Amino acid sequence: MTRGSRVGVLAVGILLLGVTGARAVDRDEVKKAIDRGVTALKRLQGADGTWPYVDGLRVPPGAADPKKTVGLTALAGLTLVECEVSPKDPAVRKAADFIRQSSVMVNDTYSLALDIMFLDLLREADDEALIQSLTVRLLAGQNTTGGWTYDCPPLDVREARQLMAELKQRSEMVARGGAPRKATRNRDRGAIASEVRQQVRRLSTVMANTTASDNSNTQFATLALWVARRHRLPVDKALVRVEKRFRATQNADGGWPYVIAALGGGGQSTPSMTCAGLLGMAVGHGVAKAARDKQTADEGKPRRDPTRDPVVRAGLLALGSTIGHPVGNNGPAVPLLGGDNSYYFLWSLERVAVAYGLETIGKKDWYSWGTEILLKNQGQDGGWHGKWGTADTCFGLLFLRRANLAKDLSATLKGQVTDPGEVTLRSGGVASEGIHLQKLEPAIPGSNTGRQKPKPAAKATQGEPARPVEPRQPDATESASARLSAELVRAPGARQGELIEEFKTHKGPEYTEALVGAIHKLDGETREKVRDALAERLTRMTAATLRDRLQDPDREMRSAAALACGMKEDKTFVPDLINLLTDPDGRVAQAARVALESLTGKKGFGPRMGASPDQRAEAAAKWRAWWRKQQGD
Helix 613-631 × helix 586-600 angle, to 10°: 20
Q: What is the dihedral of CA 60, 342, 348, 102, to 10 degrees?
A: 0
pLDDT band at residue 107 under the 50/70/90 scheme? confident
The reply to whether omega before 154 is within 30° of 0 (cis) is no
List, for residues 373-392, the tens digit of each pLDDT value.
Answer: 899 889 999 999 887 888 99
Confidence (pLDDT) at 327: 59
Cα–Cα distance measured from residue 569 to residue 616, given in angstroms and rounded to the nearest whole number: 23
Between CA 416 and CA 308 the distance in angstroms is 9
Encode pLDDT of 506-557 as tens digits.
888 888 988 988 888 888 788 888 998 998 899 888 888 888 889 888 888 9
**Could you tell me the pTM of the whole model?**
0.61
Q: What per-residue confidence (pLDDT) applies to 469?
A: 34
Closest CA to 239 of 201, 191, 288: 288
How far apart, in Å, are the Cα atoms of 289 and each of 220, 285, 295, 302? 22, 6, 10, 10
* Residue 265: other Cβ atoms inside 10 A: 15
**Strands 256-257 and 269-270: what pairing?**
antiparallel
> Where does the pLDDT of residue 294 fall: very low under 50, low under 70, confident under 90, or very high at 90 and above?
low
- One-letter amino acid at 532 equals D
The domain segmentation of the chain, as residue ranges, is 3-183+192-413, 476-631
3-class SS of residue 108: strand
Quickly count: other Cβ atoms within 10 Å of residue 147's Cβ: 31
Cα–Cα distance list, 274 to 13, 233, 353, 399 (Å): 16, 27, 12, 17
Rounded to an integer, what distance in angstroms lies between the CA atom of residue 526 and that of residue 517? Answer: 13
**Residue 75: what pLDDT?**
96
Amino acid 164: pLDDT: 54
CATH code of 476-631, in short, is 1.25.10
Please check the confidence at residue 366 and state whether its pLDDT lies above 60: yes
Is residue 481 predicted with pLDDT exceeding 50?
yes
Beta bridge partners of 430: 425
Q: Given this chain, do its domains 3-183+192-413 and 476-631 carry the same CATH topology?
A: no
Strand segments (E) across 325-434: none
> Could you tell me which residues come within 8 angstroms of residue 155 by beta carbon, excluding any fewer than 6 positions away?
104, 105, 107, 133, 137, 163
Given a contact cutoff of 8 angstroms between Cβ atoms, the answer to whether 166 and 129 are in contact is yes
Give the chain's length. Answer: 633
Helix (H) or strand (E) holding 508: none
Give whole-number Cα distances, 486 to 449, 562, 626, in Å. Answer: 10, 26, 45
Q: What is the dihedral of CA 364, 366, 372, 375, to 10 degrees?
A: 180
**Is the pLDDT assigned to residue 484 strictly greater than 80?**
yes
Give the pLDDT score at 509.
86
Average pLDDT over residues 179-204: 52
Q: How far apart are CA 374 and CA 308, in angstroms?
A: 33
Helix (H, G, I), strand (E, B) or coil at 61: coil
220-279 pLDDT, tens per residue?
Answer: 999 999 999 888 788 898 999 999 999 999 988 889 999 876 655 567 888 999 999 999
CA dihedral 521, 527, 531, 536 (to 10 degrees): -120
Pick from 65, 1, 13: nearest CA to 336: 13
DSSP 8-state secondary structure symbol assigned to residue 139: H
CA–CA distance, 307 with 357 (Å, rounded to integer): 12
Residue 259: CB atoms within 10 Å = 20
**427 SS3 class:** coil
Q: Do residues 431 and 420 lie in contact, with contact meaning Cβ atoms separated by under 8 Å? A: yes
Q: Which of 80-84, 323-327, 345-349, 540-544 has the lowest mean pLDDT?
A: 323-327
Nearest to 306 by CA among 298, 296, 316: 316
CA 16/CA 364 separation, integer angstroms: 12
**What is the pLDDT, as a whole number, of residue 471?**
36
Is pLDDT above 50 for 429?
A: no
Rounded distance between C-alpha atoms, residue 45 and residue 89, angstroms: 13
For position 194, what pLDDT does the model report?
56
Q: At what angle do helices 342-356 and 310-320 cross, to 10 degrees?
A: 140
Mean pLDDT of the chain: 76
Indicate if the pLDDT at residue 443 is higher than 90.
no
- For CA atoms 144, 147, 151, 152, the dihedral sign is positive
- Which stretch, 13-22, 132-141, 416-425, has highest mean pLDDT? 132-141
Strands, E, within 74-214: which ranges? none
DSSP letter assigned to residue 456? P
| Residue (of 259, 281, 150, 262) closest to 215 by Cα position | 259
Task: Measure the CA–CA gap between 272 and 65, rounded to whole angstroms.
Answer: 25
Cα 319–271–436 angle (5° rounding)?
35
CB proximity list for 449: less than 8 A, separation 6 or greater? 443, 478, 481, 482, 485, 513, 516, 517, 520, 554
Do residues 290 and 305 touch, judged by C-beta distance below 8 A?
A: no
**CATH number, domain 3-183+192-413, options 1.10.405, 1.10.10, 1.50.10, 1.10.3470:** 1.50.10
| Alpha carbons 59 and 50: distance in angstroms, whole number | 11
